[in-house]
A and B are shown apart, each in its own frame.
Chain A
């Protein structure tokens, strides 16, 4: 069994996220985004790679969308309405609520403003959204008999989720975009410690390690406060969703604490609508917003008022959030034209600005004049402040997540190639986890876990219910220290509970595997139990004794009569007892130490006797037998016996 991951988008790039994963025969498409940088066929993932016959309904079992950003959801109406996919689509409730907003906004901009060919209509968006099944966090959805998915909180934007998918025993997580540090309105990503074969993670900031966000917030607040305290106006051009709410919470709180009375304005439009959604979707925000919700909804901004066009030229300080971000046109540009010439005012640019926009010109270099077009030139005397807030996790966050989940394999997507390569190296060397970063349209194959189901016997189950632990001192020898030629050994106390391990797995042909208790094994296979016994016939010298006693004993050299048998044994007992202490027991006919059994051997030819030379001294033979457990002890005793002389008292 294997997991196959076909990367259709966001492989070694940022944009049009789309990964098709086949787990044990089930195919899931994670995200279906569009690339904002292209206007040709490259803007959509190459869906033909999924199915040559374009029969997507049989090729794909379900689609999972992580969040409402266009590079994750942008191609969805196209895929469902134009390409004809009609299977299940899963996304979280906020994503379902906000995606049509984003898609429609994009469609309008493309079609109405730029006059481009329509890729999908408003109807398509609506129809597509009807097919969507909304899921809640940590809700396990059984897509079909074998496939189950579950969403986990991802931070990033409202409603963003990481998705866990499991088919049979193989499991994986697709993170989408996520944030490991909380911001003012969203929490940090949160997931259980799962057993995973594969983790597909974004890697937008694969090498960046970001400092505390607090410092940047502090700078921002300080700049804004200073500006309004001196009577200036602050313009914050942002997009409607996410950043605007975050900064607004930050300012609103600060205003509250500092007792500032300067008005904060929101330009009308999408932002107002978006705020409404935020107010409703409180359960998807962070701890503080959720906890204070009962008394005060954090998105009911106390100091925020709606903006009226006449206020642009009104005297006195104020703060204004205006769309779109990057001052790429629209209302924010209109306000910028009027406010830029005064040095009292401040323009704060949160986040990244695309090249070519006024925002970009302001952040690169310090222009004093900006040519809007041939005729209009704006003189820029206001202060410029740039904020770099990002809702993506940094390299340390990615490492922390990978370390916490400890999957068997990691695939990096949604990042830049050289940085991904460096992160891959780090994951492999630091965490010892196999890592890949395939390019677009490449497939990565990894082996997946497969569990074999086995029956169990009742005795085994009963035995595993009862605890059965023991303590072992593991001796660890340090052999690396060759210089001193000493092996230093120290022991560490460890606990073992072997109740489960003591079962025996039986796999018979054409039968299901079965685990039984060790006592049942013999019964089951119908065989007798065999014990391995060791035996050795050991000579013990008695030379001197014979001489002193004279030759009364009319004995051949090596034979001892039965009457003497016991006396020899007693003699040996006395000798061994002094050497071994109280462990040894005398049973008359034999001696015993644990499983070691010693008796006098009267045979002329004993099979356990080693006859590697003529006997020089007179000796009595003792037959020793023992079982495996006492091997070491037995040889120790034998070596004592061989060096004994029973005649010396």
Chain B
């Protein structure tokens, strides 16, 4: 192959002298030489020389295009030459007079610079004027390319803003679209603070909501949402509500667009608005114009008042609240499931704002449960669940038929989410209670595989509605009683379910004196295994037995709380079987062996039930706890390699937390800590992906892993040092993560800094050991394993053959534990003000 080189070079050079026709064959063979990894260095260098010379000689645009492509190939496949390629292309760029070729060479330069940070400074030398001049040429494709890639170049934000804003007036729709996208990007950079500029951008985006092109309208919706947010943030406190409403209504006007993408974007944007007046929210649920919004005043306050506040709005920017009429009605009955999903999703955040709105929205959401699409139904249920956790779920009798229908849905997800809601639901009368129990029993009958969860739900419902249980059990008692042969029907799951319901009653707050016949508790003992399996999250078998035998003697429980404290929110589904609350001990002493108690004592501090008691019953704490719980589940997905799913979940957690950001009541420190933890988990998951057996041909950028590990290190360090008052367990958890990172680093020969990492490893291990001893906490499995093999790792200093297996085994023994946040760590922050000059000009 390489013999041809001479001829190839000749051919290429001949192009410059005789550029009538491009010799594509020569180019193709040059390219194959470049991408072939076995081509010798000298050949590549020769090729590079030829191409560089050619770049200087020829003027034919097509030939130049191919040359640039080949040069960029050289830079990517042979990184040692990337610097040289960079400089030769750069010198070409500076004298090129064709916009199109300048853009192409700029693309080559920037992608080289992105890989090789050392060259980035050379990019900075090109000034704003040079970049911007590119898009003022007549070539539309260069213009749109530049605008969509503008963020890759070092351009001052205000220059960029001017360019982007200007090009929203371009006659070409694609240019308008990328310009709007660029504005959205700029809004995120948060450097623009001038009120007038923000208003100008917002107004321009609003104008483009009426564009003839679908894609432009879609981009305009994004821009209105983002700049609207900035506008709301920039105005004075008293005007915030007005502007927030105005942006909301403006977005509502787009939900009837004929383009599906625009509608989806509009609903996504609606969900991001944090403050909206209740009357406008209510209007979105009714297609008829409501009395409050009927008057033709433009939104809430009258215009005179607004003007007196120094806010002028051009006439066509005035918008009436009635535009919002029925926005969600339309969204939820849209033809496209993407739109319906998005509408459900935005209700998720908006229902927090107003209980009345949540109540009305529930009427619509209940009907969505009859949707064709599984995703939409699930989303609707999740929204309801969210409403329930915010205590905004007011289910009425008319809803019950539809809602309980989901309990026999043939999708497991739907059923389990429906049960999750049922756990939290407050049932107001016996009829609703009865129908819920019927629904659950039907669920049990049709899908016996759900037994464990159903029993546990029944137990929870029973605890929350003690009075109703008593009424119901009276009715069912015939069924529970042994048949005439005196045999209890052990096989009937139904009986088990009813027994669980019955035994939950004495634990109800409302039911101090329990009128459940004591023999029922004795019956329940016969199904002990089954019941305790279902209730393993709440209590272990021994406790249950103790409880049952206590109740079968006397049905009065003095302090039901002492047994199983009421848990609000979701029941943690952790698998600690040996949990018991210390208060229950006294009772247990009589019932079960003492030995059991001893075994449990040292673990007292670790019981999540205790955590629950300690917990401040604030919503956020609950939510944080839930999230920490769910992260535990994520690890399984990470190991399976479902990265997209994992990242999506983590993102949703972050969004959920972000909704609390404005809440001043919440300990900002705890939030910050959770955010930090989420970041760490995300990075860890991303790193882990590199260690999984490749499932399909995946390509990673060079140095990506290194970069990720670096970030992970930094974030873990922050977690360790920037939060004060971590408990020993919490600290150990962090330490374990640091250890894993070390091992991950060691496993990749190409990136590990062997000695430094090893040093760090042994340091951390000894610190962990110290903590274990001091707090008498059982070390994690992973740490134990690591300690054992530490010596081995050390000996294979030169990366010998057996080490990879050792490390792999170690990594396999790691699994992400649930993070139990007991106290509230203090976030240490220090801000340093430095006089920073923005940009280079």
* A residues adjacent to B (C-beta < 8 A): 181-182, 184, 187-188, 190-193, 195, 209-215, 217-218, 221-222, 253-254, 256-259, 286-288, 394, 396, 400, 403-404, 462, 465-467, 469, 471, 473, 476, 478, 481, 488-497, 500
Contact = CB atoms under 8 A, between A and B. Distances in A.
A258 B200 contact: no
A4 to B, nearest CB: 27
B256 A490 contact: no
B330 interface: yes
B138 A465 contact: yes
A488 B306 CA distance: 12
B257 interface: yes
Given A188-B334, A494-B204, A495-B169, 19 more contacts: A188-B335, A191-B258, A209-B287, A213-B333, A214-B364, A217-B367, A221-B370, A222-B401, A287-B335, A288-B373, A404-B256, A467-B136, A467-B170, A469-B166, A471-B165, A471-B200, A492-B312, A493-B197, A493-B203
B821 interface: no
B337 interface: yes
Contacts of A209: 287-288
Nearest to B217: A193
A526 to B, nearest CB: 30
A217 B372 CA distance: 13
B148 to A, nearest CB: 16
B273 interface: no
Contacts of A210: 287
B367 A493 contact: no
Given A222-B401, A258-B408, A481-B307, A471 B162 contact: yes
B629 to A, nearest CB: 30
Given A217-B367, A288-B372, A493-B200, A212 B171 contact: no
Given A493-B199, A495-B168, A182 B335 contact: yes
Closest 5 CB pairs between A and B?
A: A493-B200, A214-B367, A182-B335, A465-B138, A497-B169
Q: By DSSP majority rule, is chain A's interface helix, strand, loop, or mixed?
A: mixed
Most buried by B among A215, A256, A257: A257
Given A187-B335, A493-B196, A476 B368 contact: no
A488 B162 contact: no
A500 B169 CA distance: 12
Contact of B171 (A403, A481, A500): A500
Contacts of A488: 307, 310, 312
Interface in B189-234: 196-197, 199-201, 203-204, 211-212
Contacts of A222: 401-402
Contacts of B169: 469, 495-497
Contact of B333 (A182, A218, A258, A394): A182
B154 to A, nearest CB: 22
A214 B203 contact: no
B649 interface: no
Nearest to A396: B287
A490 B212 CA distance: 30
Interface string B171-184: 10000000000000
Given A218-B370, A497-B166, A211 B329 contact: yes
Contacts of B138: 462, 465-466
Nearest to B399: A218
A211 B138 CA distance: 52
Interface string B298-342: 000000100100111010000000000110011011111100000
Contact of A214 (B326, B337, B368, B410): B368
Interface residues of B, number: 58
Contacts of A254: 370
Nearest to A494: B200
B312 A467 contact: no
Contacts of B364: 212, 214
A237 to B, nearest CB: 24
A221 B136 CA distance: 62
16 contacts: A181-B330, A181-B333, A187-B335, A188-B334, A188-B335, A218-B367, A218-B401, A222-B402, A258-B409, A286-B335, A396-B325, A471-B162, A473-B196, A490-B312, A494-B203, A495-B165
B318 to A, nearest CB: 13
B446 interface: yes
A253 B369 CA distance: 12
A484 to B, nearest CB: 9
Nearest to A484: B308
Contact of B256 (A193, A400, A476): A400
A214 B136 contact: no
A467 B167 contact: yes
Given A396-B287, A396-B326, A492 B410 contact: no
Contact of A287 (B325, B337, B367, B370): B337
B135 interface: yes
Contact of B410 (A211, A256, A394, A471): A256
Contact of B166 (A182, A184, A467): A467
B804 interface: no
B565 interface: no
Contacts of B359: none
Most buried by B among A212, A466, A473: A212
A211 B287 contact: yes
A25 B595 CA distance: 103
Contacts of B368: 214
Given A396-B287, A467-B136, A214 B332 contact: yes
Contacts of A218: 366-367, 370, 401-402
A476 B312 contact: yes
B405 interface: yes
B408 A259 contact: yes
Contacts of B304: 481
A466 B136 contact: yes
B137 interface: yes
A230 to B, nearest CB: 14
Contacts of A465: 138
Given A182-B335, A469-B166, A257 B373 contact: no
Contact of B405 (A213, A215, A258): A258
A215 B258 contact: no
Contacts of A495: 165-166, 168-169, 200, 204
A213 B332 CA distance: 10
A191 B259 CA distance: 9
Contact of B329 (A212, A471, A491): A212
Contacts of B162: 471
Nearest to B313: A492
A488 B309 CA distance: 11
B657 to A, nearest CB: 33
Most buried by B among A287, A462, A489: A287
B412 to A, nearest CB: 13
Contacts of B287: 209-211, 394, 396
A299 to B, nearest CB: 14
B211 to A, nearest CB: 8
B260 to A, nearest CB: 9
Contacts of A188: 334-335
Given A258-B408, A471-B165, A493-B196, A287 B401 contact: no
Nearest to A475: B312
Contacts of B197: 493
A256 B411 CA distance: 11
A403 B203 CA distance: 20
A466 B137 contact: yes
Contacts of A490: 310-312
A394 B256 CA distance: 14
Most buried by A among B136, B137, B307, B335: B335
A212 B171 CA distance: 40
Nearest to B200: A493
Contacts of A258: 405, 408-409
B307 A478 contact: yes
Most buried by B among A215, A394, A467, A471: A467
A276 to B, nearest CB: 23
A221 B201 CA distance: 49
